[in-house]
Amino acid sequence: MPEPALKTIGRGLRLLDHFAEQPGEHTLSTLSRELGLSKAVLQRLLTALHAHGYVVQDPITRRYRLGASALRLGTLRPRLEDLRPLALEAMKRLAERTGLSCFLTAPFDDEAVCVGKVEPNVLIRVSYNVGRRHPYHAGAPGKALLAFLPAARRETLLSTELERYTDHTIISRESLLAELARIRDAGFAISHEELAVGVSGAAAVVLDPLGEPLASVSLAGPTRDVDDAQLRARGRELVDVATQLSARLGRAT
């Protein structure tokens, strides 16, 4: 192989290694400084890698990050740390516009965990701390995640008895499987007092480039303030937000 071609391949591999070692988004200027390569050389490398799906460019920030092709090679999936700052921006807008509390919930082992929240400036609102654990089968955030988890993991999570939290909690495996199918069809989950009396909500899932759930984004409020039609409308809003976040993390739309 000609020496120039070997040099180009070496630079491309250095660039991919840099993305893997420094997860997140990078500007052309930052990459040039950190790798010691000219912007012209980097632009050619990034253009070639982008054409084959190894990097993606955020259409808003113009920053670069690893793409689905690199992920399929077993490098790195987007991490929760990559999602959180992007999600919080969108969550602030949602909470301000809807007057509902907005939560970011991630899957961890046999429970989901709240990893981010934005509360609206209203007197009566739903509030709980970051770090709170959620069951997968009760409440919109957990159900949304459960619906899109890989089938094998979902089966494992449903192999134990489902705990009842309120009179509205789904504890029948058959009923829950039907509910999860509806969630996958609609793209969002809704909950009326399944986890706590007086609280209702909706949630949609942010998917990584391989189609697995990274977190759910949800809105919640007092049941008296949100009827079923309103929750479904909020659910569709959340699908739009989650789809945009998924795209910014490299998932093809």
- pLDDT per residue rounded down to tens, the chain (253 residues): 455 667 788 888 888 888 877 767 889 999 999 899 999 999 999 999 888 888 888 888 888 987 767 655 654 456 777 888 999 999 999 999 999 999 999 998 889 999 999 999 888 889 888 888 999 999 999 999 999 998 888 998 999 999 999 999 999 999 999 999 999 999 999 999 999 999 999 999 999 887 889 999 999 999 999 999 999 999 999 999 999 999 988 776 6
What is the biggest distance separating any 2 CA atoms in the chain, rounded to whole angstroms? 72
- pLDDT of the residue at 76: 47
Residues 233 and 32: their CA atoms lie apart, in Å, by 45
Q: What is the DSSP letter of 130?
A: T
* pTM score of the predicted model: 0.71
- pLDDT of the residue at 58: 81
Q: Sketch out the chain's domains with CATH numbers.
A: 3-72 (1.10.10.10), 80-248 (3.30.450.40)
Indicate the burial class of 36 (C-beta count within 10 angstroms; 0-12, 13-18, 19 or more). exposed
Residues 238 and 234: their CA atoms lie apart, in Å, by 6
Sheet with 111-118, side-by-side order of all strands: 133-134, 111-118, 101-108, 213-222, 199-207, 188-192
- pLDDT of the residue at 252: 64
- pLDDT of the residue at 66: 77
- pLDDT of the residue at 53: 82
